[in-house]
Amino acid sequence: LLEPGTQLATCTDGTDLVPICGPAASCFEVDIRGQATAEYTDPILVPSCECRLPAYPAPDAEDQGLAAFAWTLGCVTPRRATRVSVAEATAESLVLRLRKTMTMAESANRSLVVNVGGTDVAGGTWSVNQSALPPWISLPVTSGNFSEMDDSVIVSLAVSTSGLAEQSEPYATTIALTV
């Protein structure tokens, strides 16, 4: 089938300048002869490419079945949240210490930065289920859109001690944000 000494490409032969598969595609090797038989026991392996979840063929690809082989389009990954941080802070979580006296309640406003990753050319939506939040946290906006150009979304929140009962343990909650 092949001349002696013939070298076929493998998945490891690709480089950044000349990749075997397109962006975000998975490369694996397949035997071009199919199943081994008594006559052919040594496989002849060649690279093959496919979009494996969570990646999927680029929407702009002319042939969705061949998108994984296209160097310019390939596969794309869904746009999703990659990190949440507090604006202008170095902490990974938000801890607010508010005081409440018999005559005065404190409040604070913070902005959360939701970093969005993925390679799809589409934008997306984000939302917070406000009915799942405790009454001492409010969000002026509970949902929104982001464009394909946005790499982050800002979510503002307000916290207030007004109406809270005194207790020995701190109030705590988790905000479930869907992207």
At 68-117, the pLDDT tens digits run 999 888 999 998 888 888 887 666 667 777 777 777 888 889 888 999 99
pLDDT at residue 90, as a whole number:
61
Q: How far apart are CA 58 and CA 93, in angstroms?
A: 35
> Do 24 and 69 contact (CB within 8 A), yes or no?
no
Reported confidence tier of residue 122, pLDDT bands at 50, 70, 90: confident
Contacts of 136 (CB under 8 A, 6+ apart): 159, 160, 161, 162, 163, 164, 171
- The encoded tokens of residue 19 equal 């990749």
Place of tokens 């939506």: 125
56 phi, psi to nearest 5 deg: -145, 160
At 17-37, the pLDDT tens digits run 888 999 999 999 998 877 666
At 126-166, the pLDDT tens digits run 999 988 899 989 999 999 999 988 999 999 999 998 888 87
User: Percent of the chain at pLDDT above 90?
Assistant: 35
pLDDT at residue 14, as a whole number:
83
Helices (H), 1-152: none
Q: Nearest Cα to 70, choosing from 126, 23, 123? A: 23
Q: Nearest Cα to 107, choosing from 156, 170, 160, 157? A: 160
Q: Is the pLDDT of residue 53 over 90?
A: yes
Q: Which SS3 state, helix, strand or coil, does residue 84 take?
A: strand
